[in-house]
Structure 1
């Protein structure tokens, strides 16, 4: 397993001196709503691993009172801090479990959990209790989460700027701007490094790929990445064409159609979550190698299968780590006919 390391922010008396202190009351426009803060929140509950890890990376673990919605273990440098924080739920928490922690702020990864048709609660429900909500911009900027099912449809291609925006705004809300700038600078350097690495490989111009997240059953149509989400961004930056051209975030597409497109590379999600049989990466690999349709695909025959952290396939801080994993994997492959 790849271990991704980030700089860990530590509190200090002059932590925000060079960036300038936040001025309260502070108002930010977040996913179409204005959210105001009279001061930096003191108590946070997170619904979504992305929000949790960004807050940890900003040195705010001491303010997090509960977490939920986990795909994989927390990044290694945050294990000690996370161990002392209650995990309210591995998957979707109840509204009651969240509000019982009496948070000032609920930080959210997906609008499907806290939004207009949310599985946990609407933002208005939290607001009625005096609890602010912040949804990571990567899940709403250039995206319609009410169009097609829970995962939504992209109206514009995912941009890494939406990740940096979320980090910067959270740093501003909590008055830790220097930590936010340092984190963004580190991720930008990694993003640029992975892109440069792939460019040096001189990959074929017609290289293609598909990203398989999971499937309700191994025998049914899989959830694969549409062209405009985080996997689409990875492929675009590394010069790869996605064989799936849907604007949906995670459409279901039949294996016969995927096999007909015959991608050069198959990227499969690795996760600890076990909602579906195909959440298990070993089950995915066994299916690809044994199914009469998939085993004839070029990528399967040539071993061009890449395992990637499922959380990196979502629009999160880990997307940049996924970019690195894909670039590194491509460097080991031969595409000569």
Structure 2
């Protein structure tokens, strides 16, 4: 009788294991993605995805990254597959990935269709605001069969966001201007991560009512808006942007200039939808409400 039970159960165990290791997911642009087992050879097509995978402890499964993936430093040692807008399909295929994780930019349809024709599953991330970044992390955890590390990251981020909101709650919301470029003057409007961070950090984005995600401003418009806080973004960590900060000193009637409230933040922390975005939120909130973060 025991031998008969074993004979019957062993095939069932293999079947159930096969079912558990194969799964179908819906990515963040609504596509169906079929993954046959926990991915062991992952290619990341974007810096934020690479950061997420490293934060989840999946760096050993990561076989290729984009040329822009520079954080954490160990990402520099990974094989490069080109930029995130125009990655090299040849390099990706040569790495024999069992999962490619990309973003909703560039010629997405052509990229996905070509890999699909080679039976390479492609998961597309598409967080549209700062809080959706956490949802995206959880979904990447699911498609990589590593949900618990993703949940730990999200719980930590949620707690840090709550702490910031508790500190700025009930305080005045000063006018905040974020400048992306000087020639011409370009800011970040509604629908950008920076707009969300300014709002969550207790400020009011000067560009929130402007047309487009990245509106241009004349100096006359900025003088009229009179920002109380100006946020600059450095592409190089630790760069004080001395020249740009000095440029603002000619406009001494602007409240932020008069009060010495021009701050330089790390661009990667406020523009990149990764786990470090919560660190960017803390920096933004501290710049807007220094009194709340002694």
Q: 1:104 to 1:222 in 2, by over 3 A?
A: farther
1:313 aligns with 2:280: no
- Do the aligned partners of 1:228 and 1:247 also contact (CA within 8 Å) in 2? no
Partner secondary structure for residue 266 of structure 1: strand
2:97 counterpart (69, 94, 103): 103
For structure 2, list consecutive stretches of 5 or more residues without a partner in the other structure. Answer: 1-18
Please list the CA deviations of residues 280-337 of structure 1 after superposition, one character each: whole Å capped at 9, or x if unmatched. 9344323323xx5x45422123221122221222333222111111222234369xxx
Instruction: Please identify the structure whose Cα radius of gyration is greater.
Output: 2
Displacement of 1:54: 0.4
Query: Which structure 2 residues correspond to residues 94-133 of structure 1 after superposition, within 5 A?
Result: 94-108=88-102, 110-113=103-106, 115-116=108-109, 122-133=111-122
- Do the aligned partners of 2:203 and 2:288 also contact (CA within 8 Å) in 1? no
Displacement of 1:259: 2.6
Q: 1:69 to 1:269 in 2, by over 3 A?
A: farther
2-side partners of 1:198 and 1:114: how far apart?
Answer: 41
Aligned to 1:235: 198
Please list the CA deviations of residues 176-224 of structure 1 after superposition, one character each: whole Å capped at 9, or x if unmatched. 221111111111111111222223xx5324x1111122x3xx4x22331
User: How well do the aligned residues superpose, as a CA RMSD in angstroms?
Assistant: 2.8
Aligned to 1:172: 142
Displacement of 1:88: 4.3
1-side partners of 2:83 and 2:248: how far apart?
Answer: 28
2-side partners of 1:130 and 1:247: how far apart?
Answer: 42
2-side partners of 1:197 and 1:236: how far apart?
Answer: 13
Q: 1:325 to 1:280 in 2, by over 3 A?
A: closer
Aligned to 2:248: 288
Aligned to 2:172: 204
Partner secondary structure for residue 175 of structure 1: coil
Q: TM-score, normalised by structure 2?
A: 0.80
1-side partners of 2:106 and 2:288: how far apart?
Answer: 35
Aligned to 2:282: 324
Please list the CA deviations of residues 120-161 of structure 1 after superposition, one character each: whole Å capped at 9, or x if unmatched. x5321222232222222304xxxxxxxxxxxxxxxxxx250x
Higher helix share: 2
**Aligned residue-pair number:** 269
Please list the CA deviations of residues 86-139 of structure 1 after superposition, one character each: whole Å capped at 9, or x if unmatched. 34457754443433333222222x4223524xxxx5321222232222222304
Q: 1:295 to 1:62 in 2, by over 3 A?
A: farther
For structure 1, list consecutive stretches of 5 or more residues without a partner in the other structure. Answer: 1-21, 140-157, 274-278
1:258 aligns with 2:222: yes
Partner secondary structure for residue 138 of structure 1: coil
2-side partners of 1:272 and 1:91: how far apart?
Answer: 20
